[in-house]
Amino acid sequence: MTKADHISPGSPGLRRLVDPYGRRLHYLRLSVTDRCNQRCLYCMPPSGIAKLNHQEILSLEEQARVARVAHSLGVDKIRLTGGEPLLRRDLPVLLQALGRLSPRPDLRLTTNGRLLAAHLDQICQAGVTAVNVSLDTLRPERFGLITGLDLEEGRRAFAAVWEGIRAALARPGLTVKLNLVLLKGLNHDELVDFARLTLDLPLAVRFIEYMPVGAAKTFAPERFLSADQALAALAGLGALEELPRQAGDGPAQRFRLPGAAGELGVIHALSNHFCVTCNRLRLSAEGRLVPCLFSDRNLDLKPILRGGGDDAALALAMLQAAAMKPRHHQQTQTLATPSGCAMSRLGG
């Protein structure tokens, strides 16, 4: 198949987002804002990064339109992310628009959890099936250090995140995952505690390798801990049962501790390329379609969205973005120069 085959208009309904390596891109990650109420040290410098002005950020209607056209090209899974998505005013308007797509896509949300409890009704009413909460420590006194808050603010924020997690676990039909970025010297001594959470709670814990991406110009290679090192740290907990891969699993390798209610997963972002299973396209807060997290190449949809372009033009741009997807990224933990768009505009 040539590149042209991927971007030819074809007949409506038959076109699908497929990259030049045959990977079907059916998972759209939509960053709804670049604003955040934290400054996680792996994501942003303490002073934050330059904010987009309001006109630069796509409106909710524009985001819904991109999602609708992507859906017509085979996207069946949409994750709202950010920045902190729950800071976006009127987010339910977007959630409802996504919930009306037919067939309804698998709707998910990634959040730092601070505002989760208050938004759960709206999230569940819109048909969101899974929330990922980013939580890198179980120790309230460490929370501020990792998230750029002072000690007291950190303790309060930690309590709010836990309230959100508990409330989410109480919602029938809502899957809850905790995402932890592995950080040597900051949380490597908590991996067993995180794993033990899965014994009693029906949630998934994901250990994610620290990645040199975007505005994390502060990438500190000495903090890197591989997913395999994380698994080795769990040796004392008993034999991990590896769970079979399921369709749509994404890059995680999944395990269960003996008798556990929940599950564990590791994401080898750098130590072992996960690119072969990549099924993602990302839309940044300012409307750039980003085919690879680690690449600076992207395609700006704003001129089409704001220049009177029709849905066919949007669809063609999406097919072009799919054709730009590299076979795999080039990053390693020894490369201290981050690449790609700022995480807080792109959403991880």
Radius of gyration of the chain (CA): 19
Tokens of 283: 């839309």
| Residue 36 in the binding site for ligand SF4 (CB under 6 A) | yes
| Residue 343 in the binding site for ligand SF4 (CB under 6 A) | yes
| Residue 165 in the binding site for ligand SAM (CB under 6 A) | no
Cα distances from 281 to residues 77, 262, 288, in angstroms, run 11, 28, 10
Which partner, ligand SF4, ligand SAM, none, binds residue 44 by CB below 5 to 8 Å per kind? ligand SF4
| Residue 112 in the binding site for ligand SAM (CB under 6 A) | yes
| Residue 265 in the binding site for ligand SAM (CB under 6 A) | no
Which partner, ligand SAM, ligand SF4, none, binds residue 168 by CB below 5 to 8 Å per kind? none
Give the residue from 253, 254, 247, 321 showing the smallest Cα distance to 282.
Answer: 321
* Residue number with CB closer to ligand SAM (6 or 223): 223
* Residue number with CB closer to ligand SF4 (134 or 331): 134
- Determine the distance from the C-alpha atom of residue 334 to the mean position of all C-alpha atoms in its chain, rounded to a whole number: 23
Phi, psi of 161 (to 5 degrees): -65, -45
Q: Are 109 and 123 in contact (CB under 8 A)?
A: yes
User: Interaction with ligand SAM in 190-209: which residues (CB under 6 A)?
Assistant: 208
List 63, 132, 134, 198, residue binding ligand SF4 (CB under 6 A): 134
Which partner, ligand SAM, ligand SF4, none, binds residue 213 by CB below 5 to 8 Å per kind? ligand SAM
Tokens of 226: 């591989």
Sequence-ordered list of residues with C-beta below 8 angstroms from that of 264, at least 6 positions apart, any chain: 195, 198, 204, 205, 206, 207, 234, 240, 254, 255, 256, 257
| Residue 292 in the binding site for ligand SF4 (CB under 6 A) | no
List 63, 198, 284, 344, residue binding ligand SF4 (CB under 6 A): 344
x-or-dash pattern for ligand SAM, window 32-71, by CB under 6 A? ----x-----xx----------------------------
DSSP string covering 73-129: TT--EEEEESS-GGGSTTHHHHHHHHHTSSSPPEEEEEE-STTHHHHHHHHHHTTEE
As measured in angstroms, the least distance from the Cβ of 281 to ligand SF4 is: 19
Residue 195, CA atoms < 13 Å, CB-side half-sphere = 26
Question: CA–CA separation, 128 vs 79, rounded Å?
Answer: 9
Residue 243, CA atoms < 13 Å, CB-side half-sphere = 18
| Residue 144 in the binding site for ligand SF4 (CB under 6 A) | no
List 23, 28, 29, 38, residue binding ligand SF4 (CB under 6 A): 38
Q: Are 138 and 178 in contact (CB under 8 A)?
A: no
Judged by DSSP in three states, 14 sits in coil
List 123, 216, 283, 322, residue binding ligand SAM (CB under 6 A): 216
User: Interaction with ligand SF4 in 40-69: which residues (CB under 6 A)?
Assistant: 40, 43-44
* Residue number with CB closer to ligand SAM (100 or 217): 217
Residues near ligand SAM (CB under 6 A): 36, 42-43, 81-82, 84, 110-112, 134, 179, 181, 208, 210-211, 213, 216, 343-344, 347-348
Residues near ligand SF4 (CB under 6 A): 36, 38-40, 43-44, 82-84, 112, 134, 343-344
